[in-house]
Chain A
Amino acid sequence: MNQNTPQSGPPLVELSHISQKYQTPEGEVEAIRDVSFSVRRGEFVSLVGPSGCGKSTLLSILAGLVQPSGGQAFIEGRPVCRGMGSVGYMLQHDHLFEWRTIEQNVLLGLELRRELTPETRARAVRLLETYGLGEFRKATPRHLSGGMRQRAALIRTLAPAPALLLLDEAFSALDYQTRLSVTNDIYSILRGEQATAILVTHDISEAVALSDRVVVLSARPAVVKAVHTIEMEGQGPQERRDDPRFREYFNTIWKELDLV
């Protein structure tokens, strides 16, 4: 899998001095303070931090759904704005629509962006077939297991060929066993498609198992506490979990979170 290591060159994603404040009737909440980091093409970066620290808000900013109160986010050198359409978002629950077949669910993004052509449809169907859901094209979501549903949700996200994938606690709603196998699945799909991804998680072992780099955020207001390069390139999540260095990374990050 070494051919999929991150490429050098200009960063695909750039967060520059992002800060975020909320106004509520009770007062002002400072959620994010001066967060900067970048992600290279093909890289898998995880954001870990205590709950409620504004990790998910960072993803919403990258998706153009939330305007930061300060700073600017760039994807492929262009400032992020609403509906620019270069990101795919995956949430904690698969949110497959029960009234659509798996194929119709997967085509949702293309349909909304009015990019549904015979070519893009063929690409989406090919993704379904490559990742073992070919025979479920005409099935409704209720006929799929939790792991398969999450895989279908990932293919829905990948179908419009986004430059960047945002995974917001994408595995936390699954039971532990399913979660391990889905993590492996998703890892190989993302590597296979050479996707760039940012994963928000509160699960340190998941972050270490999947990422090229882990960004540790502090409690609110979130600042970048540390960035770890996980030097286990070319190893899948399963191999990494068995690697002695896995514990070291885990413990280091755990302590950084604990200090908060």
Chain B
Amino acid sequence: MNERPALSAERAAYLRQIRRETLLVRGSRAAIVLAFFALWEIAADTGLIDAFIMSSPSRIAATTARLAAEGNLFQHIGITCMETVAGFLLGTVLGTAIAMLLWWMPRLARIMEPILIVLNSLPKIALGPVFIVWMGPGVGAIIVMGLAISLITTVLEVHHGFAYTDADKIKLVESFGASRAQVLQKVVLPENLPTIVNALKVNVGLSWVGVIVGEYLVSKAGLGYLIVYGGQVFRLDMVMASVLILGVMAALMYLCVLWLEKRITAAMIAA
């Protein structure tokens, strides 16, 4: 593994081809995005689309710069991000905890199964008014919304993983005299870590939806608030700028979770 033999001509050609392919894919990807923004700008400039309604990249840039200069853009971004992170972390942690409880008490799981499935198919956003009355119109209600939207699906997903843990692996540790807590700690949890991380990844997306809807309903700050406010005062540049920022933030957060996933996997192997 340590020594590097000289590359054969075929191998060098193969590696060159792979590099070319990667370059082509990445280049085309960037070109599509750039072309989209360029066409948007041109269409707005030439009056092909109504820049007042559809905005344009330059107007979005100017609006973003103005919002940043006014000083509270980063505060809006920060609040929304905080609410989202709180939503998906709570959703994942609470969901996993409830799944553990259901694994521990199979009878409870049997009793709860249809109830959870009905709850899962209920559009949680419909409960928005209840959360607002319960938590008061503010950050609390928004976080609960982000949590509610991801909680039940996490419980169902993670419990399914727990319940279908390889029975022979459990038998193996039980033959060593493992207690139920040890079965959970040494087999069920580590075996299902990929399921939990996967739930976390799904929850990031869900939580954004919950938080933005929550902000639509009650907030005084955040990107969802900017979108609603922009719409109300017909500043559609502000709406578009916020949507664009939202997209970038969601992508960044997803990348963070991917990075975290890699770290967890690596740590699990190293530990």
Residue-wise, chain B 169-186 has the 8 Å CB interface mask toward A (1 for contact) of 101111111100010001
Residue-wise, chain A 97-116 has the 8 Å CB interface mask toward B (1 for contact) of 11100000000110111000
Which parts of A31-79 form the interface with B (CB within 8 Å)?
A: 60, 63, 65
Q: How many residues of B contact A (CB 8 A)?
A: 20
Which parts of A90-134 form the interface with B (CB within 8 Å)?
A: 91-93, 95, 97-99, 108-109, 111-113
Q: Is the CB of B271 within 8 A of A99?
A: yes
Give the CA-CA distance A109 to B176 in the complex, in Å: 5
B269 within 8 A of A: yes
B190 within 8 A of A: yes
Q: Is the CB of B177 within 8 A of A83?
A: yes
Question: Contacts A99-B190, A99-B268 hold; do A93 and B168 have CB atoms under 8 A apart?
Answer: yes
Q: Is the CB of A95 within 8 A of B176?
A: no
Residues of chain B lying within 8 A (CB to CB) of residue A85: 176-177
Give the contacting residue for A108; candidates B186, B191, B193; CB below 8 A: B186
Residues of chain B lying within 8 A (CB to CB) of residue A84: 177
Residues of chain B lying within 8 A (CB to CB) of residue A166: 175
Q: How many residues of A contact B (CB 8 A)?
A: 25
B21 within 8 A of A: no
Q: How far is the CB of A202 from chain B (nearest CB, A)?
A: 17
Question: Contacts A108-B186, A112-B182, A140-B269 hold; do A95 and B177 have CB atoms under 8 A apart?
Answer: no
Q: Is the CB of A112 within 8 A of B177?
A: yes
Give the contacting residue for B166; candidates A88, A95, A160; CB below 8 A: A95
Give the CA-CA distance A65 to B269 in the complex, in Å: 30
Q: Is the CB of B175 within 8 A of A87?
A: yes
Residues of chain B lying within 8 A (CB to CB) of residue A98: 269
Give the contacting residue for A112; candidates B169, B178, B193, B268; CB below 8 A: B178
Give the CA-CA distance A97 to B176 in the complex, in Å: 15
Q: How far is the CB of A63 from chain B (nearest CB, A)?
A: 5
B171, B177, B178, B190, most chain A CB atoms within 10 A: B177
Residues of chain A lying within 8 A (CB to CB) of residue B190: 97, 99
Residues of chain B lying within 8 A (CB to CB) of residue A92: 168
A89 within 8 A of B: yes
Q: Is the CB of B175 within 8 A of A108?
A: no
Residues of chain B lying within 8 A (CB to CB) of residue A111: 186
Residues of chain A lying within 8 A (CB to CB) of residue B172: 89, 91, 95
Give the CA-CA distance A149 to B182 in the complex, in Å: 23
Residues of chain B lying within 8 A (CB to CB) of residue A63: 175
Residue-wise, chain A 133-144 has the 8 Å CB interface mask toward B (1 for contact) of 000000010000
Known A108-B186, A112-B178; 8 more pairs at CB < 8 Å: A65-B171, A85-B176, A92-B168, A95-B166, A95-B169, A97-B169, A99-B268, A113-B177
A-B contact pairs, 23 of them (CB 8 A): A63-B175, A83-B177, A84-B177, A87-B175, A89-B171, A89-B172, A89-B175, A89-B176, A91-B168, A91-B171, A91-B172, A92-B168, A93-B168, A95-B172, A97-B191, A99-B193, A99-B268, A99-B271, A108-B173, A112-B173, A112-B177, A112-B182, A160-B176
